[in-house]
């Protein structure tokens, strides 16, 4: 998918208040008897699109930080509170590229395919406050 429609989807997400997760693009669902190589190819394609969109956003917003979601998954497994939208993502996405944007934060990542669901390119908008960087990048 060209980056212009993805960038437009990002802008629409940021225009709405509150925290949310949205699929920017979803690969075709895996057939029951499908080749695992097809699912890996879909994930690689979405990863390439994610990198291209992240590079475009970095030109506009500065370099992103990286958010490792493993600690949030561990906290959730121990029964500790994890805020949304991170709670809904931490079981599926390993890490996000994150930027501060207008008093909120924006994240971008890829959900790898599972046995019953396809790979997805996801965007995340956090509620007010700074992004939960693991390693901070630029700011907007």
Considering only CA atoms, which of 96, 126, 95 is closest in space to residue 21?
126
Q: What is the pLDDT of residue 7?
A: 85
| Domain locations in the chain as residue ranges | 3-126
CA 28 to chain centre: 18
Per-residue confidence at 137, pLDDT binned at 50, 70, 90?
Answer: very low
Which has more pLDDT, 97 or 2? 97
pLDDT one-digit tens code per residue, 107-135: 999 999 877 788 899 999 987 776 665 54
Q: What is the pLDDT of residue 47?
A: 92
Considering only CA atoms, which of 108, 105, 107, 109 is closest in space to residue 131?
105
Q: Would the pLDDT of 67 be above 80?
A: yes
């Amino acid at each position: 998918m060209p980056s212009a429609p993805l960038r437009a989807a990002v802008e629409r997400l940021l225009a709405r208040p509150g925290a949310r997760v949205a699929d920017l693009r979803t690969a075709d669902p895996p057939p029951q008897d499908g080749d695992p190589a097809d699912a890996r190819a879909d994930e690689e394609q979405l990863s390439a699109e994610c990198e291209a969109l992240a590079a475009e956003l970095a030109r506009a917003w500065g370099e992103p930080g990286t958010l490792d979601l493993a600690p949030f998954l561990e906290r959730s497994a121990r029964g500790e509170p994890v805020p949304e939208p991170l709670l809904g993502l931490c079981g599926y996405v390993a890490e996000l590229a994150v930027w501060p944007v207008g008093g909120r934060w924006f994240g971008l990542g890829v959900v790898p395919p599972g046995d019953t669901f396809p790979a997805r390119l996801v965007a995340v908008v956090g509620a007010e406050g700074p992004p939960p960087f693991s390693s901070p990048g630029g700011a907007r």
